[in-house]
Structure 1
Amino acid sequence: MPLSVVDLMPFRKGDDASRTMSDTLAVARAADAAGYHRYWIAEHHNANALASSATVVVMAEVAAATERIRVGAGGIMLPNHMPLVVAEQFGTLEAFHPGRIDLGLGRAAHHPALRGGRPRHPFRPLPGRLPPPPRGRRRPPDGHPPHEAA
């Protein structure tokens, strides 16, 4: 039975992104040497405990660091990406690593970015009882430039 690895790329206590990326490459090399069939990279955004937000970039590094194992995205959330760009990126990866690249697709309509920062269950403020929803400048995640909210 073919076995695969699914890597969420979790940060260990005290580790930074570079260390987590190095760990991913080490696990991928070990899985390749042990004869595993596929190495899946998960896509997660706004998850402080996971480093797997740039799936295609990580896949390119894993494929370059290994010889035989298939490398896949498990999966690319299409609402977060332009389909043409996804097709071009995976076509390019396949050209560099023929027969070793897999694409898993998903949807993430619940993602906060797609809601424009609005809550899942919007409510109407009661005049005089609750402040209006925040507008204007909001605090971005660490390392990201500020943006204007709608």
Structure 2
Amino acid sequence: MSKALKDIAFSMLDLVPVREGRSVADALAVSLQTAQHAERLGFTRYWLAEHHNMAGIASSATAVLVGHIAGGTQRIRVGSGGVMLPNHPPLTVAEAFGTLAELYPGRIDLGLGRA
């Protein structure tokens, strides 16, 4: 049984790339605009990938970015493509994402990893 394209849930994973000659603030603004566009297109989820110590990637503070994107959208689910637990105290991750889940009920996803 095949599904029609309109019945397939689409998601997007964003690394928040910093383009050459642009700032981190520009990258964050582009990510919000991209999430808003994805929401208008009917995407189900917008996830942010956690990466550290990479000059061209602005997605190291995943919980902060999830809150930024959720605050600038209305319906799309927003989450982490993988918070790397070796990099963060688990209680801090649980508290941050628990708070986000209260601020944006039914819209926050938490993906975990081990880097």
Instruction: Quickly name the TM-score band, shorter chain normalised.
Output: over 0.9
Do structure 1's residue 11 and structure 2's residue 18 form an aligned pair?
yes
Distance 2:80 2:34 in 1: 16
Do structure 1's residue 34 and structure 2's residue 70 form an aligned pair?
no
| Alignment RMSD (CA, Å) | 0.5
Do structure 1's residue 58 and structure 2's residue 65 form an aligned pair?
yes
Superimposed CA distance per residue, residues 51-86 of structure 1 (whole angstroms, 9 cap, x where no aligned partner)? 000111010010000000000101100000000111
Q: Which has the higher contact order (CA 8 A, sep 6+)?
A: 2
Task: Give the % identical residues.
Answer: 54
1:90 counterpart residue number: 97
Larger Rg: 1
Superimposed CA distance per residue, residues 95-135 of structure 1 (whole angstroms, 9 cap, x where no aligned partner)? 00000000000012xxxxxxxxxxxxxxxxxxxxxxxxxxx
Deviation at 1:16, TM superposition (A): 0.5
SS at match of 2:111: strand
2:78 counterpart residue number: 71
SS at match of 1:43: coil
Amino acid at match of 2:68: E
Amino acid at match of 1:3: F
Structure 2: gaps of 5 or more residues: 1-7
User: For this pair of structures, how many residues does the alignment match?
Assistant: 108
Distance 2:112 2:62 in 1: 12
SS at match of 2:81: strand
Deviation at 1:11, TM superposition (A): 1.0
Deviation at 1:13, TM superposition (A): 1.1
